Structure formats: C-alpha cells, structure tokens
Amino acid sequence: MLGAVYDIANYLTTPPMAAPTGGFYSSEDADSLLKPEDSEKREGAFYVWTRKELRSILGDRDASILSKFYNVHENGNVDAENDAHNELTNQNVLAISSTPEALAQDFGLGTKEVIAILETARQKLLDYRNTNRPRPALDDKIVVAWNGLAIGALARASSMLQTIDAEKAQTYLDAAISAVNFIKTELFDAKKGTLKRVYRQGPGDAPAFADDYAFLIKGLIDLYEATFDDTYLQFADTLQSECDTIVIPLTPL
C-alpha cells in the first residue's frame, strides 16, 4: 500500500504531470506509439511489457522474479475479451500479485535481496521506457477540481510520511502548496471571490463549477491540517461563501 502512495505521488509531482509553474496537468493519452518509427498508436503501448522484453532488459533471473511479482506471463496477462482490437496480444499490464517475502522463498533468496532486485529492475525498465518509447500525448489543461483532489491527496500523504520519510513528505507538501499558489494567482479573482475553472496558456473563460469549489475547499482544509497555516482556511472560507451562492439547495420533501 505504501508503495502505491509513493508511485502515485511521484507521478503527480514530476514531469510531465507537474506543471513547471505550479499545478497539475489533466492526463496523458491512453494510446501512443510503441516505437518511434511506428505509424499507428496502440492502447497502453507506453506501459505494457512482453516477457521477452523483460528477459532482454533484466536477464533471466531478475526477469523471472519481476514476472512473478507483477503477474507477467509468456503469452500476456490481458484477457482477449478486454482487448477488442488485439492491441495487447502477448503484452502484460504490471500488477502486483506477490510479496518480496513469498518471492524470497520461491527463489531461495533473502527478502532484502529480493527488494533490491525489484527496485533495480523497476529503474531499468523506467530508463528503457523513457529512452525507447515515445511518451503519450499530454492533456495540459489545469482543472481546478482535479487540482483540488491532488492538493488534498498530497497534503494527506505528506502528513502520513512525516515521521518515516521527511524528504518525500516535504516534496509532496511543496507541490500541494505550489498548486494552491498557482490557482490563487491565475484563476482566482480576489475582488469577487470567484474562480475560473481551467487554465491552459492562460485562464479560460468558463467560471468554476460547484465541484471546482468543493474539491479545492477540501484540499485547502487538508493542507491546513498538514501545516496549521490559517491562510488556507481563510481561502477555503472565501471560496465556501461563493460556493454557497451557486449551489441550489435541495427542497425538503
């Protein structure tokens, strides 16, 4: 579980998802070119692997360990019913299906040695992917609602990691604060107390929706709880006052 926290938080706070000026971009495309010379994009091409690729990059032993950890099969692990266009034939989506302790027993190794092998193998695959595969196209909109969710998640992750990984805790907290500062500078009208919904090469015209206010307010509360900085509560209160005017109250039955 902790590994998943790191993976998601690291993805959010590094390029391409982290905007250099603060905030987080929307998404990456699901399909991309498998190789630079290809002409047609394929679903999941940037992220999936064949067993043959793992052996070539990692060597037989480490590929076997990684394959068992991530449920990698020779003929792929994607069911045909989930691959309507046959784009994932022999491909594997990496999904944890074992533990270092179980692998240590299976391969006659120490648990710490298995963990080191997995970490080294992951880095080798990451380096190979970033060097040899074209990155999927980026949706570079900064949407307030989605940033509010990210701000809250990173603030909570920072609080959780404070006593076990202070460096990462600070990195995630800094990213959340940077996103708030960006939104406050670029998408917030301090005189009116209102937000714009989207930023892309400048603020968009659309006013923020109720979910933009709600998710950003929740993120600000999470950030306050991580820092005890009253300015985040004050900003949340300002946004709540505006949100109350645009949400239609439910009529009691």
The model's pLDDT over 125-181, given as tens digits with 9 standing for 90+, comes to 999 999 999 999 999 999 999 999 999 999 999 999 999 999 999 999 999 999 999
Whether 1 shows a pLDDT value over 70: the answer reads no
Q: How far is CA 100 from the centre of its chain?
A: 24
Q: What pLDDT, on a 0 to 100 scale, did the predictor assign at position 249?
A: 53
Q: How far is CA 169 from the centre of its chain?
A: 16
Residues 6+ apart with CB under 8 A from 252: none
Among candidate residues 27, 23, 26, the one with its CA nearest the CA of residue 176? 23
pLDDT tens column, 89-134:
999 999 999 999 999 999 999 999 999 999 999 999 999 999 999 9
Per-residue pLDDT band for 34 (boundaries 50, 70, 90) equals confident
Note whether residue 128 is domain-resident.
Answer: yes
**What 3-state DSSP class applies to 91?**
coil
Note whether residue 13 is domain-resident.
Answer: no
Are 87 and 150 in the same domain? Answer: no
> Within a 13 Å sphere around the CA of 112, how many CA atoms are in the beta-carbon half?
0
Are 59 and 125 in the same domain? Answer: yes
Are 174 and 214 in the same domain? Answer: yes
8 Å CB contact between 217 and 240: yes
Strand 31-32 and strand 138-139: pairing? unpaired
Q: What pLDDT, on a 0 to 100 scale, did the predictor assign at position 247?
A: 58
Q: Express as a percent the part of the chain with pLDDT over 70.
A: 97
Strand 31-32 and strand 42-43: pairing? antiparallel
126: left (phi over 0), alpha (psi -120 to 50) or beta: alpha
Q: What pLDDT, on a 0 to 100 scale, did the predictor assign at position 251?
A: 56
Note whether residue 22 is domain-resident.
Answer: no
Averaged pLDDT of the chain:
94
Are 109 and 179 in the same domain? Answer: no
Are 107 and 153 in the same domain? Answer: no
Q: What pLDDT, on a 0 to 100 scale, did the predictor assign at position 2?
A: 79
Per-residue pLDDT band for 253 (boundaries 50, 70, 90) equals low
Are 78 and 162 in the same domain? Answer: no
Are 147 and 123 in the same domain? Answer: no
Are 115 and 164 in the same domain? Answer: no
Choosing from 103, 136, 169, the residue where a domain stops is 136
Instruction: Name the pTM for this structure.
Output: 0.87
Choosing from 136, 168, 197, the residue where a domain stops is 136
Choosing from 70, 104, 136, the residue where a domain stops is 136
pLDDT tens column, 40-68:
998 889 999 999 999 999 999 999 999 99
Among candidate residues 209, 193, 205, 206, the one with its CA nearest the CA of residue 246? 209
Note whether residue 75 is domain-resident.
Answer: yes
Q: Which domain holds residue 185?
A: 142-246
Note whether residue 240 is domain-resident.
Answer: yes
Are 156 and 180 in the same domain? Answer: yes
Angle at which helices 60-69 and 111-132 pack, to 10 degrees? Answer: 100
68 - beta bridge partners? none
Are 123 and 202 in the same domain? Answer: no
Q: What pLDDT, on a 0 to 100 scale, did the predictor assign at position 153?
A: 97
Over range 12-25, report the average pLDDT.
96
Q: What pLDDT, on a 0 to 100 scale, did the predictor assign at position 245?
A: 85
Note whether residue 8 is domain-resident.
Answer: no
Q: What pLDDT, on a 0 to 100 scale, did the predictor assign at position 51?
A: 96
Q: What is the count of structural domains for the chain?
A: 2
Are 174 and 125 in the same domain? Answer: no
Are 121 and 61 in the same domain? Answer: yes
